A and B are shown apart, each in its own frame.
Chain A
Amino acid sequence: MGQTLAQKVYEEHVVRRTEGEPDLLYIDLHLVHEVTSPQAFDGLRAAGRTVRRPDLTMATEDHNVPTLDILSPIADPVSRAQVDALRRNAAEFGIRLAPMGDRDQGIVHVIGPQLGLTQPGMTIVCGDSHTSTHGAFGALAFGIGTSEVEHVLATQTLPQYPAKQMSVTVDGELPPGVSAKDVILAVIAEIGTGGGQGHVIEYRGSAIEALSMEARMTICNMSIEAGARAGLIAPDQTTFDYLAGRPHAPQGADWDAAVAHWSTLRTDDDAVFDREVRIDAASLTPYVTWGTNPGQGLPIGASVPDPAGIADESDRLAAESALEYMGLTAGTPLRDISVDTVFLGSCTNGRIEDLRVAAALLKGKKVDAETRMLVVPGSVAVKLQAEAEGLDQVFTEAGAEWRGAGCSMCLGMNPDQLKPGERSASTSNRNFQGRQGKGGRTHLVSPAVAAATALTGKLTAPADLETAGV
């Protein structure tokens, strides 16, 4: 029987396999940020251990960083102490760090690909669940907890068991205005937040192959929201073109050897998936979430669902509590929901293509007077690129706020937060209760829907703008 792409990558990294024990898996790249690492470094110190491979480790500051006034010390003393701890740890253990103000700083999942450190066929981990983003390159990339961060720092390996294999095939052509974000929100709505549990998802099909690398990252990023351990896409010419010439991409003969190997990283025709899901790209429309988990999403043309119509008891209770928290009434058309804030950014949708899509819709127009729009590039490099293209001016002339790079309002560990009761349309990945600020209410959307919503103040698809006369 053939192997899936994920199985091939996994098998290439098995250091040790013994009956009755987990496999020991080698880790090619360990990304580190300030939130999930301090206790791991303390553990190393307490045991007198060192970092085995500083050269396969890369740290940055992203979760806590303010997006205004970034060259001053962080005002919040607790955030500052955490960032300072990372700086001390990186210096003590010889780890490369891209601190605030550095050209390479940014959200950990944006800078890895940008630097060319993320490559096909690698194993990549980070103390962050959205590490699945790197699967867009055909890497096996997954989030880990702090104990495992310590384990990887010390040994460059992790004990692992092989995952089950799932395929999500998206064939056909996406309609105009429908993006990778809508695809993944539709997938999660279909299989649920636990649908991928225990599985690695491989996204395949003509609609996936047609996507840019950045769009593929958006899809793989939210694999965790479907409960999957990782998500990945077979590398192809699009992948190689993206990587060529990046700072840490192989060069010369190394490039040729790498591409030759990367080209073998495809699921065999006779490989068997444990579960297969098929989605018709042409049937998709922009998706938005109405509830408090990412599986509670619907096409934007739908209405807030009536929990009474949900057969499964725990789903019904979850829907009831979600509507109460979200302050929504069953039957309300999603397009009638007004928002206070639009957040464009995050490791899901904070890359240059996301900003371009939004800027194209906002150009020459004004953000609704009652709505605040925050634009937070995923990295300093994205910010500089956007500024070189004049996108920052488009945003500020439209009345949006142009900020520094970081995780920002995706999880509100910095000052960018919703106030209690405030409602956002957000291009981030989680609509959990209080995620963007205590009492805040989040609707997950694509960058295009975010921009259209900013213009009208209500959840809006880009195609609605013409009808609305905006």
Chain B
Amino acid sequence: MDAFTTHTGTAAPLRRSNVDTDQIIPAEYLKRITRTGFEDGLFVAWRKNEPDFVLNQPQYANASILVAGPDFGTGSSREHANWALLDGGFRVVISSRFADIFRNNSTKAGLLTVVLPEADVEALWAAVEADPALPVTVDLQTEQVTYGSTTVPFTIDPYTRWRLLEGLDDVGLTERHLDDITAFESRRPAWKPASLPALPTR
């Protein structure tokens, strides 16, 4: 995972609530077994069917910060949604509320999700609609979103922040505690089920 410290780019205003992961990337793109190259599936139905969809507008085509309505990333747990956003050039998604699994997947994939109050999202929408070229800075070190003369603080749990700033891989961190895992396993009740040996349906 790439480390995330600070990012400055332009922002696309996605004035929709309940953007589910089927909209971010439809299931047909999930048949691939690679981890990159999902940009062609990103919001593909809206890009194809809605000429005025925000990412079809040239002034937002190169945006790297997505500013979305509430309940972004609901539905399927597909991490392909996070990969597609990264592959499509986004480093940050801002919303007033994210679905839990999407947000969690983002912290693993290196996509920063920033929760701002709805009023601050509205203000940012208005600002980038008035000036699509307006640079927006999302600084994870200072936990601030800055554009024009406006600075809005955000919070993120300190552990996730540290992990993103360092670009650390979770598996490697957990492997430091293998002794704890082994000790826990020795205490598990014997009646807990195991899939092996296989006992098939009768």
Interface set of A (CB-CB < 8 Å, partner B): 15-16, 20-22, 24, 26, 28-29, 35-36, 38-39, 42-43, 47, 49, 52, 54-58, 63-64, 76, 78-79, 81-82, 85, 96, 103-104, 114-117, 119, 122, 127-129, 142-148, 150-151, 154-157, 159, 161, 192-194, 197-198, 224-225, 227, 229, 247-250, 254-255, 257-258, 261, 293, 295, 314-315, 317-318, 321, 381, 411-413, 430, 432-435, 438
Contacts and interface: CB of A to CB of B under 8 A. Distances in A.
B54 interface: no
Contacts of B171: 43, 47, 49, 150-151, 154-155
Contact of B101 (A26, A57, A85, A144): A144
B31 A434 contact: no
A81 B33 contact: yes
A47 B1 CA distance: 13
Nearest to B99: A227
A317 B15 contact: yes
Contacts of A64: 31
B17 A24 contact: no
Contact of A155 (B16, B28, B175): B175
Given A81-B33, A435-B22, A250 B191 contact: yes
B149 interface: no
B7 interface: no
A433 B18 CA distance: 11
A156 B75 CA distance: 25
Given A81-B33, A258-B191, A413-B27, A145 B108 contact: yes
B82 interface: yes
Contacts of B32: 78, 82
A15 B181 contact: yes
B23 A432 contact: yes
A113 B52 CA distance: 47
A257 B26 CA distance: 46
Given A317-B17, A413-B27, 19 more contacts: A20-B159, A26-B184, A38-B33, A42-B35, A115-B201, A117-B195, A129-B76, A129-B101, A145-B108, A147-B109, A150-B171, A156-B185, A159-B170, A224-B75, A227-B99, A248-B193, A249-B193, A295-B18, A411-B22
Interface size for chain B: under 10, 10 to 19, 20 to 34, or 35 or more residues? 35 or more
Contacts of B174: 24, 151, 154-155, 157, 159
B33 A82 contact: yes
A42 B128 CA distance: 40
Contact of B79 (A36, A258, A413): A36
A78 B29 CA distance: 10
A194 B31 contact: no
A45 to B, nearest CB: 12
A78 B31 contact: yes
Residue of B18, B22, B105, B190 ringed by the most chain A CB atoms within 10 A = B18
Contacts, number: 223
Contact of A151 (B45, B100, B170, B190): B170
A39 B184 contact: no
A15 B16 CA distance: 40
B130 interface: no
29 contacts: A24-B174, A26-B184, A36-B30, A36-B78, A57-B195, A63-B27, A63-B30, A81-B31, A82-B31, A82-B33, A96-B195, A103-B200, A129-B76, A129-B77, A144-B77, A146-B80, A147-B108, A147-B109, A154-B171, A154-B174, A154-B175, A194-B18, A194-B99, A227-B74, A250-B191, A295-B18, A318-B16, A318-B17, A411-B22
A145 B77 contact: yes
Nearest to B82: A145
B180 interface: yes
B195 A197 contact: no
B164 to A, nearest CB: 13
A249 B193 CA distance: 7
Interface string B166-202: 0000110111011011001100111111111011111
B39 interface: no
A64 B32 CA distance: 12
Contact of A197 (B97, B109, B193): B97
Contact of A24 (B34, B70, B109, B180): B180
B104 interface: yes
A413 B181 CA distance: 37
A85 B175 CA distance: 26
B195 A29 contact: yes
Contacts of B74: 193-194, 227, 293
A255 B190 CA distance: 11
B90 to A, nearest CB: 17
B143 interface: no
A295 B74 CA distance: 12
Contacts of A247: 199-202
A451 B193 CA distance: 37
Given A81-B33, A293-B18, A434-B45, A114 B201 contact: yes
A295 B33 CA distance: 32
Contacts of B80: 146
Contacts of B98: 197
B87 interface: no
B30 A35 contact: yes
Contacts of B185: 26, 156
Contacts of B76: 128-129, 411, 430
Contacts of B79: 36, 39, 145-147
Contact of B194 (A56, A104, A146, A157): A56
Contacts of A293: 18, 20, 74
B191 A254 contact: yes
B189 A257 contact: yes
B159 A22 contact: yes
B139 interface: no
B103 to A, nearest CB: 9
Contacts of B45: 433-434, 438
Nearest to B194: A55
A24 B189 contact: no
B158 interface: yes
Contacts of A76: 31
